[in-house]
Amino acid sequence: MWLGLKKLRISKTSLKTDTSHKAYGIIVSMKRGFTIIELIVVIIVIIILTGVVMMGYMGWREDSIKTVVQADLKTAASTLEQHRNFNDSYPTTLPITNRTETNITLTIIDGGDNFCLYGESKDYPSIHFWLRSDEGFIRNTAC
């Protein structure tokens, strides 16, 4: 004993099983767990991964809506061509048939000899396309 202090006895078995030590009359407990820094790092990594997944999902969603708008325009153009084959002119109003999505607005702009179809998504107003009968392809600019 030196100045009234006792030496700590540490053995291999006590390190494995005993997690509390008595030093200077105070019980010091060693608990196993994560530090606050480790928890913060894990939370930041989870937030970053969530952001990456959400950005990928939003891009996928917009691409699928573009595809649906274009498909609806092609279907409507086919319907208008059938009407012309039987009636020798295009209709002035657009029949509501063969629609794949209810959140898409299709409008016929011209009738008579030629037509111009306009398709727009209600969910994403920035997604809109035009199809002109004499050109036969879908484009991003107005007819």
Residues 6-13, mean pLDDT to the nearest whole number: 50
- Please determine, for residue 141, whether its predicted confidence score (pLDDT) is greater than 70: yes
Confidence of residue 1 (pLDDT cuts 50, 70, 90): very low
Q: Which residues contact 116 (CB under 8 A, 6 or more apart)?
A: 108, 109, 110, 130, 131, 132, 133, 143
**pTM (two decimals):** 0.61
- Please determine, for residue 19, whether its predicted confidence score (pLDDT) is greater than 60: no
- Please determine, for residue 121, whether its predicted confidence score (pLDDT) is greater than 80: yes
Sequence ranges of the domains in the chain:
36-139
- What confidence score (pLDDT) does residue 56 get? 86
